[in-house]
Amino acid sequence: MTPRLRYAPSPTGHLHIGNARTALFNYLFARKRGGRFIIRIEDTDIERNVKTGIENQLDLLEWLGVTWDESIDKDGGYGPYRQLERLKTYRRFAEKLIEEGTAYKCYCTPEELEAVRKAQVARGEDRLHYPRTCIDKPPQEGPYTVRFRVPEAKVYRFEDMVKGDVSFKSEDIGDWVILKRNGIPTYNFACALDDELMAITHVLRGEDHLTNTPRQLMVFDALGAPRPTYGHMTLIVDEHGKKLSKRNESVIQFIDQYRELGYLPEALFNFIALLGWSPAVENEIFTREELIEHFEEDRLSTSPATFDPQKLKYVNNRHVKRLDDEDLFALVAPHLEKAGIGKDKGPEWKKSLVEVFKDRLTHGAHIVELTRAFFAQDCLYDAAAKDILRQDGVDGLLAVFREKLLEDEHPDADVYRAIIKDSG
């Protein structure tokens, strides 16, 4: 069977590190196994959807080099690929489950449900489950939700590609809503039904989705459909072990920010691939093709992945060193222009300047920091530096160093002459 994997973002925000990793690992798995990679848009959370969310996701994935075989722009015969365009399908299957007795209509109002919940809390009940008030009610007029009838005393067990044997007891899960009053499906119902109808064979996602799995397994079993193979990747944490979130300001979260800073897409792809996965070879710098070649799902880590910004800079620097002169200049030129560096100089002067710092450059915008000292009007020295400058012989040593830089045979003499002139 041809492997079919999917990345299913909600357009409630722009592409961030966690979602990019999910897409990337599903892409690597599909490409390594000769399978298909699908992007499905889960846009049923209408109130939270961002206008540019879908475009941002697709644009940045393409920039990273994560290409897809099927999506809203490539129909592979399993569409539509946007959930809001599949509402009739969800309702049809919800009605099928009702007819088979696997689901039922619930006419309880939100106020009644809240009163039940408060009473359960007041009684100190451990499980705040819906008490099946409507499970045997005859059809009524008025709005209703559709609830899944959770089997009693059943264990949902599956073999996770990352976590191994995982199980959940049905008694820990109350009869959950699969279709809301407005006809919009809930996440777990739509997700499982789409996976079945799109013939998804493997699901790689973050471990925060682990508790969703038993509900989705219920849907597969109710439909008599084969279950996909699941793999729940460990969390991405910062250097302090704190889970990355949009409120965590210690790490840049969004892919478009890295693009604006002048990080290379192939380097970011390389770095993200190492967040929770390790190759069998002793190397960390890979092209996309090499990562596809080396990817094995059994090497996904069982420990949290630490996002190290310094390691990202190192990886990006290694990829920067592979650039030819033209591509290197194209990377840094916008940042030189924005900072006003060499604005009265020609392109050859700028290219020579960039070449001086190529080995140290970690990303495009870094060129501004590296060259700032040469173009600052004033140089400030701390106490330790002043003590060194006062030592005997330092003036002579600096004079010799300056002359060496300006010697005609020095490969960067013209650049240094211009720098010294501009900086006074």
Q: Please identify every residue annotated as catalytic.
A: 246
Q: Quickly count helices (H) and strands (E) in the chain.
A: 16, 11
Look up tokens 């196994």; give the residue.
33
Backbone phi, then psi, for 248, in 5-degree steps?
Answer: -85, 110
Closest of 5, 16, 101, 4 to residue 57, by C-alpha? 16
CA 241 to chain centre: 18
CB 202 within 8 A of CB 243: no
Helices (H), 362-407: 366-375, 383-389, 394-406
Q: What sign for the dihedral angle of Cα 197, 5, 186, 42?
A: negative
Whole-number Cα distances in Å, 192 to 154, 218, 337: 19, 9, 50
CB 64 within 8 A of CB 32: no
